C-alpha cells in the first residue's frame, strides 16, 4: 500500500469525525449489551469487542485535534497511533472468528478450547521468562486438560494433522489461518499485510519509521502532510472496523440498536457531552413522628420511676 493521497486539514477533520462517531456508537452498544445472556462464542466475542473499544478510545485520545482530550499541543506522527490501529486489526479478526455461528457444539468447543490452550501456553512462557514458578504446575495441568478435551473432540479430530499439531502445542490462537479469516471478512490480503507491516514498523521503531524523517516535519510530531495523511488513513480504516463489529454486535443483541446515536451516544466514562444524565438524588425520608406515650407506659413510669 503506497502513500495515501494528500490530505488537507479539512479532510483530516472529516476522518477523525468518522472515527469519533464509530467509537461512540461502539462503546454505547458494548455497555448496553453487557451482562446479557449469549452463547459461549458470542460471549467471548463481546469481550474482544470491549477490548476493541478500549483500543479505539486510546486511538482517538492520541489522534491530533481530538475532542476527547485537552492538550497544549498535538503530536502529528503516525507512531503515536500506529499501535492502537494495529490492535483494531488484530481484534477485528479474532472478533469475527468468535462471533461466527458454529455448525455444531463440537466445532464451538474446539474453537474456544484452541483459544484457551493458546492463552495457557503463553502464560506458561510469560511466567517462565519472568522466573515466576508459583503457578506453573497449575498452568501445566490446565494445558494437559485442554489438550485432552481437543483430542476427544470429534470436530477437532476431523482437522488436518498439521493443524491439529499446531493447535495442540499452543501455537495457534484460531483454527482458521489469518488468510482464511481475511477472506471471510472481505479484506484483501495484500492491503492487510501492507497496513499491518506499516503500523508494526512504527510500533517497533524500525528503520521505515525514521529513514524519512524531516527537520520540523515528517516524524517529528510537527504537523506535516505525510503524517497527517497516514493518520487520516488509519482513522478511516479504524472507523470501518469498529462500525462493522458494532453491526455484528447489534445483530446478536437487537435491543441495543436504539443506543446508536452517533457522537451523541451516551456512555461512561467519556467526554462530558457523552455522559448519561446523572440520576436524580435520592430524597431523604422525613424522620418518623414521635410516638405518643400510652397510658400504660405512663403508669409504669410512675410505678418504677423510669
Residue whose grid cell is 524531516: 214
pLDDT digits (tens, 9 = 90+) for 161-220: 999 999 999 999 999 999 999 999 999 999 999 999 999 999 999 999 999 999 989 999
Q: Which residues, at least 6 apart from 96, have a Cβ–Cβ distance to it below 8 Å?
A: 181, 184, 185, 245, 248
pLDDT at residue 119 is higher than 80: yes
**Distance from first CA to last CA of the chain, Å, rounded?**
93
Q: How far apart are CA 145 and CA 137, in angstroms?
A: 13
pLDDT digits (tens, 9 = 90+) for 5-52: 789 999 999 999 999 999 999 999 999 999 888 899 999 999 999 999
Q: Is 74 exposed, middle or buried (0-12, 13-18, 19+ CB in 10 A)?
A: middle
Give the domain ranges of the chain.
9-304
Q: What is the pLDDT of residue 304?
A: 64
Phi, psi of 193, deg, nearest 5 = -60, -40
Q: What is the pLDDT of residue 114?
A: 98
Q: How far apart are CA 260 and CA 4, in angstroms?
A: 30
- CB hemisphere CA count around 153 (13 angstroms): 23
pLDDT at residue 233 is higher than 70: yes
The C-alpha angle with vertex 250 and arms to 245 and 251, in degrees rounded to 5, equals 95
C-alpha to C-alpha distances, 280 to 276, 277, 283, nearest whole angstrom: 12, 9, 9
Q: Are 94 and 48 in contact (CB under 8 A)?
A: yes
Q: Which DSSP state fits 210? A: T
Q: What is the pTM of this model?
A: 0.88
The C-alpha angle with vertex 240 and arms to 267 and 272, in degrees rounded to 5, equals 20
Q: Are 98 and 175 in contact (CB under 8 A)?
A: no
Q: Are 150 and 144 in contact (CB under 8 A)?
A: no
Looking at residues 269-289, what average pLDDT do you find?
82
Q: Is 54 exposed, middle or buried (0-12, 13-18, 19+ CB in 10 A)?
A: middle
C-alpha to C-alpha distances, 275 to 51, 206, 298, nearest whole angstrom: 20, 40, 58
Q: How far apart are CA 182 and CA 192, in angstroms?
A: 8
| Percent of the chain clearing pLDDT 90 (strictly above) | 86
Q: Are 98 and 51 in contact (CB under 8 A)?
A: no
In the three-class reduction of DSSP (H, G, I as helix; E, B as strand; rest coil), residue 57 is classed as helix
Q: Give the residues across from 76 on adjacent strands.
A: 221
Write out the three cell numbers for 132. 515466576
- CB hemisphere CA count around 196 (13 angstroms): 16
Q: Are 92 and 241 in contact (CB under 8 A)?
A: yes
Amino acid at each position: 500500500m503506497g502513500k495515501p493521497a494528500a490530505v488537507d486539514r479539512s479532510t483530516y477533520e472529516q476522518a477523525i469525525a468518522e472515527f469519533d462517531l464509530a467509537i461512540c456508537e461502539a462503546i454505547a452498544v458494548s455497555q448496553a449489551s453487557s451482562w446479557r445472556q449469549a452463547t459461549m462464542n458470542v460471549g467471548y466475542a463481546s469481550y474482544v469487542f470491549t477490548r476493541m473499544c478500549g483500543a479505539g478510545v486510546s486511538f482517538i485520545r492520541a489522534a491530533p485535534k481530538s475532542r476527547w482530550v485537552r492538550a497544549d499541543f498535538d503530536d502529528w506522527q503516525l507512531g503515536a497511533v500506529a499501535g492502537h490501529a494495529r490492535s483494531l486489526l488484530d481484534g477485528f479478526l479474532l472478533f469475527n472468528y468468535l462471533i461466527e455461528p458454529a455448525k455444531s457444539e463440537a466445532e464451538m468447543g474446539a474453537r474456544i478450547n484452541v483459544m484457551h490452550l493458546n492463552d495457557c501456553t503463553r502464560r506458561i512462557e510469560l511466567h517462565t521468562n519472568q522466573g515466576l514458578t508459583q503457578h506453573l504446575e497449575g498452568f501445566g495441568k490446565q494445558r494437559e486438560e485442554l489438550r485432552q478435551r481437543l483430542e476427544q473432540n470429534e470436530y477437532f479430530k476431523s482437522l488436518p494433522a498439521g493443524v491439529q499439531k499446531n493447535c495442540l502445542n499452543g501455537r495457534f490462537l484460531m483454527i482458521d489461518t489469518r488468510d482464511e479469516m481475511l477472506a471471510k471478512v472481505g479484506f484483501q490480503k495484500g492491503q492487510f499485510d501492507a497496513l499491518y507491516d506499516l503500523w508494526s514498523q512504527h510500533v517497533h521503531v524500525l528503520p521505515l519509521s525514521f529513514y524519512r524523517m524531516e527537520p520540523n516535519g515528517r516524524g517529528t510530531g510537527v504537523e506535516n502532510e505525510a503524517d497527517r495523511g497516514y493518520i487520516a488513513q488509519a482513522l478511516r480504516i479504524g472507523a470501518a472496523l469498529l462500525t462493522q463489529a458494532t453491526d455484528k454486535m447489534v445483530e446478536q443483541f437487537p435491543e441495543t440498536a436504539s443506543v446508536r446515536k452517533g457522537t451523541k451516544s451516551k456512555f461512561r466514562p467519556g467526554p462530558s457531552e457523552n455522559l448519561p444524565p446523572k440520576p436524580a438524588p435520592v430524597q431523604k425520608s422525613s424522620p418518623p413522628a414521635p410516638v405518643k406515650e400510652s397510658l400504660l407506659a405512663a403508669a409504669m413510669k410512675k410505678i418504677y420511676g423510669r
